[in-house]
Amino acid sequence: MKVFILLILVVISYFLMRMYYRRNWKKHLEVSLQFSQETAHEGEWVSLEEVVTNNKAMPLPALKVKFQMSRFIVIENSDMKNVTDHYYRNDLFSIGGYKKVIRRLPLMATKRGPYRIDGVQVVASDFFFSKQYAYMPETPTELLVTPLNYEIGTGDLPFRTMWGEVVSKLKLYEDYSAFAGLRDYQPGDPIQRINWKASARSGDWQVNYYDTTMDKRLHIVLHAERGPMPHEDDMREELLRLGVSFASSALGIGQSVSMECNVSGSDGGTPLMISEGSSMGHLTSIEIGLAKIDYETIFDAKRMKQAMREKMELGDGNDFSAEEENPNTSVLYVTYSLRPEFEKRVCARVRMGAPCCLVIIGDKLPELPAELNGCTALWKPRNQ
């Protein structure tokens, strides 16, 4: 009889505890996933923080946090050979009452673009491991991976080729704030240049002369083409990497940089156009803009001009179409496929005698018009 009563009490206790667990396991439970930073470069290691907080006395003996990530995210010390479209993660926690557990998962994104942690699910087993309960918390977790910055130095090719060509064609102006010295008067020198005190001392006419300076503006044109072509995806990504790399190098030597790309930006409806800026903070804007590039829409020359006009009519940004008409702005063209339409655009700039350079991504240079031979550099992809 006592055994029977004891058995009944055990059964009642079992169901009461299950009922209590079912009603209370989720109360004051917080689960969050957060990247250690909002942006990262391709190939840069960051960490994903899993934070589980149990703000109640009841312990949670077996709590699973499940989620999925892109296959382009590599997790340190994980076997990901059989990963297809997504990588599925299942982490087990055992957490006592009023406890907080933080786990940091080192990972690296191998490809540019925005990443989200999707399908987050929290699954808990009761005290007897007889039943599971689940819910899906709202954990908006995003990481924006920007194109790799090669940190091209001024002595590296093709940067050296490009910069030598650009600087040699820049028009030089005298900077009246940079006094350089005196020289003898020459016919045609304006009277304002005469240094009266020096002339009186020497007995000959002396004029001031100044150091030269140049217009330090660079407009970068990234041009993509519709395929198909070998290694097309790699070429398109290398195009964006060069956009970041050249912008970074130019800003580093004090140039003001603007950029256009004939591919849809984050809004998906217009090509990417980044107005002029000269601070290193401007590089962040360029990196973020290129990180959000969507190759779903590639604009031809006619649609690019229309998009530029619309941007000007809205009062948003500078007149990008005027950049190539300004002989004092250096223009850098970057492409992986020199089609006739784009070739004409570059040739028109060269005929102006204005500073420009064409960088072609590939294994070898295509056959070029004679006028482009002196201002074209080859860039062999580094990440194929």
pLDDT exceeds 70 at position 14: yes
Give 214's pLDDT tier (boundaries 50, 70, 90).
very low
Buried/exposed 87-119: b ≥16 CB within 10 Å, e otherwise: bebeeebebeeeeeeeeebebbbebbbebebee
Q: What is the reported pLDDT for 284?
A: 94
CATH 3.40.1350 fits 159-169+215-379, yes or no: no
Q: What is the reported pLDDT for 138?
A: 84
Give 267's pLDDT tier (boundaries 50, 70, 90).
low
Per CATH, 26-146 and 159-169+215-379 having the same topology is answered: no
pLDDT exceeds 60 at position 170: no
Q: What is the reported pLDDT for 104?
A: 95
pLDDT exceeds 50 at position 171: no
pLDDT exceeds 90 at position 200: no
pLDDT exceeds 70 at position 383: no
HSE toward the beta carbon, residue 144, CA cutoff 13 A: 14
Mean pLDDT of 313-341: 75
What is the C-alpha separation between 146 and 365, in angstroms, rounded? Answer: 28
Q: What is the reported pLDDT for 310?
A: 75
What is the C-alpha separation between 364 and 359, in angstroms, rounded? Answer: 11
Mean pLDDT, the chain, integer? 82
Predicted TM-score (pTM) of the model is: 0.78
pLDDT exceeds 80 at position 114: yes
Q: What is the reported pLDDT for 250?
A: 85
Domain residue ranges of the chain, discontinuous segments joined by +: 26-146, 159-169+215-379, 172-214
Q: What is the reported pLDDT for 282?
A: 93
Mean pLDDT of 187-205: 79
pLDDT exceeds 60 at position 127: yes
pLDDT exceeds 60 at position 4: yes
CATH number for the domain running over 26-146? 2.60.40.10
